[in-house]
C-alpha cells in the first residue's frame, strides 16, 4: 500500500454476545467496526457495548471525514478527532485509531508492535478478578490461577457491590478480610494488588491502604474517584504503598499532566478504548517515561482491543504487566471470556506470559462464524 490508498467505506456489525450459563453478566450487544479501503485491506476493532451514541457518531460524524482519506494518516486523523471531542464520545477516537493501525499493519505485512518499535516479545500477565460476594471465592480463584502459572492476582473487592448492585451493607471490613484471606491462600511471596474502583471515601481509603500495606500488596488502584486529585495527593502522603490512579481519568494524555505535577499518582494508567487508541496510549506511555513512571495497561473491555493493548505493551518498556480480567461462571477458572470473538485465544503460555502477536495488523482473526450466528445488523 502506498500513495493514493483511500478509505472507501465504514460499517458497524452489531451482534449479541453469547455468554456461558451462570455468568454474572446479562447478555450484551457487541459490534465490529469495519474500515474498508480500495486495496481490499480491512481494519477492525470490537466496540462493546456499542450504544447508539457511539455507533451513530462513528457513522454520521466520523465516516464522512474518513471517506476518501489515506488510512495511514493515523496521526492526522487522531488530532482531527481530538479537536471534535466536545461533540463526540471519548471512546470513538480510540476505536477508529485501533482499526487504522490494523490497516497499517496489514498493509506493511507486519504486526502493529513492529511499526511502533518492538521492545520485547513477551510480558507477564496477571489475573484481575471479577467482584465476588465472599472472601473464600477470591482465595479459591487466586489459588486456581496461581496453579495455571499466572504471576500475580488483583482483587476487585466486595465493596464494589455497593455501586454495582446497591448492596449497602458491604463494608471495607469485607474488603480487608478478602485481601487477608487471599494473602493467606497464596503465601507471602506471591504478588497481589487491590483495585477498589472508586469505592471509598477518603477515611476508608486510608484504612484499607494501611491494611494492604501490612499484607505486602504491590499496588493500590483507584481507591478514590478520578475527579479527586486532591484526595489522591493527600492519600499518597499518608501511605507508602504505590498508588495507581488515572484509569478512567478524562482528557487523554493532556488530562494526565496535573496528576504528575501534583504528585497524585505513582503510575499512569489507561487502555486503547478510553485513552485515544494505540496512538493515545503510546503518547501516555512516553509521558510516563519522561518522569520515570510506569504506564500500566488496562484491560480494554473486549478481545480485539485487548490485543491492541498487547501491541502497545510490547512497544514500551515502562509497563510491568498485561491485565487479564476474568469473568466466568462459579468455579470455572478459565480465561475464555477474555478472547471472546476471536478464532483463537490470546496467546498466554503456561508460565503466565503473554506473547507478542506475530501476524500482520492486530494479528488475530475475528470469529465471523460466531458473530454472523448472532448478527443483528450491519449499519452503514
- 66 versus 172: smaller Cβ distance to Mg ion: 172
Cα(192)–Cα(214) distance, rounded to whole angstroms?
A: 12
Which has the closest alpha carbon to 5: 32, 33, 43, 31? 43
CA 47 to chain centre: 13
Total residues found in the chain within this entry: 380
Residues in contact with Mg ion by CB under 5 A are 195, 247
Which has the closest alpha carbon to 263: 280, 249, 279, 243? 243
Shortest distance, position 138 Cβ to Mg ion, whole Å: 16
Bin 22: left if φ > 0, else alpha if -120 < ψ < 50, else beta: left
Cα(2)–Cα(6) distance, rounded to whole angstroms?
A: 10
Burial class (CB in 10 A: 0-12, 13-18, 19+), 89: middle
Shortest distance, position 344 Cβ to Mg ion, whole Å: 27
159: DSSP letter = T
- 157 versus 360: smaller Cβ distance to Mg ion: 157
Shortest distance, position 196 Cβ to Mg ion, whole Å: 9
Burial class (CB in 10 A: 0-12, 13-18, 19+), 240: exposed
Shortest distance, position 223 Cβ to Mg ion, whole Å: 11
Shortest distance, position 62 Cβ to Mg ion, whole Å: 28
- 64 versus 251: smaller Cβ distance to Mg ion: 251
Shortest distance, position 252 Cβ to Mg ion, whole Å: 17
- 141 versus 195: smaller Cβ distance to Mg ion: 195
Shortest distance, position 213 Cβ to Mg ion, whole Å: 19
- 84 versus 162: smaller Cβ distance to Mg ion: 162
- 100 versus 194: smaller Cβ distance to Mg ion: 194
Cell numbers at 242, concatenated: 504505590
- 199 versus 346: smaller Cβ distance to Mg ion: 199
Peptide linkage before 49 cis (omega within 30 of 0): yes
Cα(124)–Cα(351) distance, rounded to whole angstroms?
A: 8
| Residue number of the CB atom closest to Mg ion | 195
Cα(178)–Cα(138) distance, rounded to whole angstroms?
A: 7
H or E, element range at 92: helix 90-108
Shortest distance, position 197 Cβ to Mg ion, whole Å: 6
- 135 versus 246: smaller Cβ distance to Mg ion: 246
Amino acid at each position: 500500500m502506498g500513495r493514493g490508498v483511500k478509505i472507501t467505506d465504514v460499517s458497524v456489525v452489531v451482534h449479541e454476545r453469547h455468554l456461558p450459563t451462570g455468568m454474572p453478566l446479562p447478555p450484551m450487544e457487541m459490534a465490529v467496526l469495519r474500515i474498508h479501503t480500495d486495496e481490499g485491506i480491512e481494519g477492525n476493532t470490537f466496540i462493546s457495548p456499542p450504544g447508539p451514541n457511539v455507533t451513530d457518531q462513528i457513522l454520521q460524524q466520523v465516516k464522512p471525514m474518513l471517506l476518501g482519506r489515506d488510512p495511514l494518516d493515523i496521526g492526522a486523523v487522531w488530532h482531527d478527532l481530538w479537536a471534535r471531542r466536545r461533540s463526540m464520545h471519548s471512546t470513538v477516537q480510540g476505536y477508529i485509531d485501533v482499526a487504522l493501525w490494523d490497516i497499517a499493519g496489514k498493509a506493511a505485512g507486519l504486526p502493529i508492535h513492529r511499526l511502533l518499535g518492538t521492545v520485547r516479545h513477551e510480558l507477564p500477565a496477571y489475573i484481575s478478578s471479577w467482584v465476588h460476594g465472599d472472601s473464600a471465592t477470591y482465595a479459591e480463584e487466586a489459588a486456581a490461577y496461581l496453579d495455571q502459572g499466572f504471576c500475580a492476582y488483583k482483587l476487585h473487592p466486595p465493596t464494589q457491590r455497593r455501586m454495582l448492585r446497591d448492596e449497602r451493607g458491604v463494608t471495607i471490613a469485607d474488603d480487608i478480610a478478602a485481601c487477608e484471606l487471599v494473602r493467606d491462600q497464596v503465601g507471602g511471596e506471591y504478588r497481589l494488588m487491590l483495585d477498589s474502583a472508586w469505592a471509598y471515601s477518603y477515611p476508608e481509603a486510608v484504612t484499607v491502604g494501611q491494611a494492604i500495606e501490612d499484607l505486602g500488596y504491590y499496588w493500590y488502584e483507584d481507591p478514590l474517584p478520578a475527579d479527586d486529585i486532591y484526595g489522591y495527593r493527600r492519600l499518597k502522603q499518608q501511605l507508602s504503598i504505590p498508588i495507581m490512579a488515572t484509569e478512567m481519568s478524562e482528557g487523554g494524555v493532556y488530562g494526565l499532566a496535573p496528576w504528575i505535577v501534583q504528585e497524585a499518582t505513582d503510575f499512569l494508567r489507561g487502555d486503547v478504548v478510553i485513552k485515544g487508541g494505540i496512538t493515545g496510549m503510546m503518547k501516555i506511555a512516553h509521558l510516563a517515561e519522561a518522569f520515570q513512571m510506569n504506564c500500566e495497561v488496562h484491560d480494554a473491555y473486549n478481545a480485539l482491543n485487548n490485543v491492541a493493548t498487547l501491541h502497545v505493551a510490547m512497544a514500551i518498556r515502562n509497563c510491568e504487566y498485561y491485565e487479564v480480567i476474568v469473568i466466568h461462571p462459579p468455579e470455572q477458572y478459565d480465561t475464555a471470556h477474555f478472547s471472546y470473538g476471536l478464532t483463537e485465544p490470546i496467546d498466554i503460555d503456561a508460565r503466565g506470559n503473554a506473547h507478542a502477536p506475530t501476524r500482520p495488523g492486530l494479528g488475530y482473526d475475528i470469529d465471523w462464524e460466531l458473530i454472523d450466528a448472532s448478527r443483528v445488523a450491519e449499519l452503514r
